[in-house]
Amino acid sequence: MIKKTVEFIALKQRFIIAAAVIFALLYPLLFSDLFILRMGTLCLMYIMLALGINLIMGYMGQMTFGHAAFWGIGAYTAAILSGRFGTNFIVDIIAAALVAGAFGFLLGLPVLKVKGYYLTIVTLGFGEIVRLVELNASGLTGGALGIRGISGIRLFAQEFTSPRAFYYAILILVVLTTVILMRINNSRYGLALKSIRDDDSAAEVMGVNVVRNKIMTFVISAMIAGVAGAFFAHYISYIDSTSFTTQASQEMCVMVILGGLGSIPGTMLGASVLTLVPEFIRGLAEYRMLIYGVIMVVMMLVRPQGLLGYTDFGLIRTRLLEERGKKKGGGENNGTTGTEG
Partner 1 sequence: MFLQQLLNGIALGSTYALVAIGYSLVFGVLRIINFANGSLYMLGAYLVFVLYSAMNGQLVLAILFALLATAAAGFLVDFVGLRKLRRDNAPRMSGLISTMGIATIIENVIQIWIGTETKQFPDFLNFGSFQIGSAIVTSTQICIFFISLFLMAAFSLLVYKTKIGKAMRAVSQNMTTARLMGINVKLVISGTFMVSGFLAAVAGTMVGAYYRAIDTLMSSSVGMKTFAAAVLGGVGSLPGAMVGGLLVGVAESIGGSYISSGYRDAIAFAILILVLLIKPSGIFGKKIVEKM
Q: Which H or E run contains 158?
A: strand 158-160
Residue 124, number of CB atoms within 10 A of its CB = 18
Which residues, numbered 300-339, are part of the site for partner 1 (CB under 8 A)?
A: 300-301, 304-306, 309
163 part of the interface to partner 1, by CB under 8 A: no
State the burial class of residue 285 (Cβ atoms within 10 Å of its Cβ: 0-12, 13-18, 19+). Answer: exposed
Q: What is the DSSP letter of 238?
A: E
278 part of the interface to partner 1, by CB under 8 A: no
Q: CB nearer to partner 1: give 91 or 296.
A: 296
Residue 279 Cβ vs partner 1, minimum distance, rounded to whole Å: 16
Which of 88, 195, 237, 250 binds partner 1 (CB under 8 A)? It is: 250
Candidate segments 4-12, 37-45, 236-244, 291-299, binder of partner 1 by CB under 8 A? 291-299
Q: CB nearer to partner 1: give 131 or 234.
A: 131
Residue 46 Cβ vs partner 1, minimum distance, rounded to whole Å: 16
For residues 266 and 259, the answer to whether their CB atoms sit within 8 Å is: yes
254 part of the interface to partner 1, by CB under 8 A: yes
- Distance from C-alpha of 90 to C-alpha of 38, rounded to nearest angstrom: 22
Query: Nearest 5°: phi and psi at 322?
Result: -65, -45
* Distances 149 to 41, 80, 83, 111, 221 between C-alpha atoms, Å: 20, 11, 8, 39, 28
Q: CB nearer to partner 1: give 63 or 236.
A: 63
Candidate segments 2-10, 72-80, 206-214, 298-306, binder of partner 1 by CB under 8 A? 298-306
Angle at Cα 280 formed by Cα 274 and Cα 285, nearest 5°?
A: 105
211 part of the interface to partner 1, by CB under 8 A: no
Residue 124 Cβ vs partner 1, minimum distance, rounded to whole Å: 7
- Distance from C-alpha of 329 to C-alpha of 251, rounded to nearest angstrom: 50
Q: What is the DSSP letter of 57?
A: I
290 part of the interface to partner 1, by CB under 8 A: yes
Q: CB nearer to partner 1: give 170 or 258.
A: 258
# residues contacting partner 1 (CB under 8 A): 49
State the burial class of residue 245 (Cβ atoms within 10 Å of its Cβ: 0-12, 13-18, 19+). Answer: middle
Q: CB nearer to partner 1: give 71 or 126.
A: 126
Q: What is the DSSP letter of 151?
A: -
The footprint of partner 1 (CB under 8 A) covers 57, 61-63, 110, 113-118, 120-122, 124-126, 128-129, 132-133, 135-136, 197, 200, 246-247, 250, 254, 257-258, 261, 286-287, 289-290, 292-297, 299-301, 304-306, 309
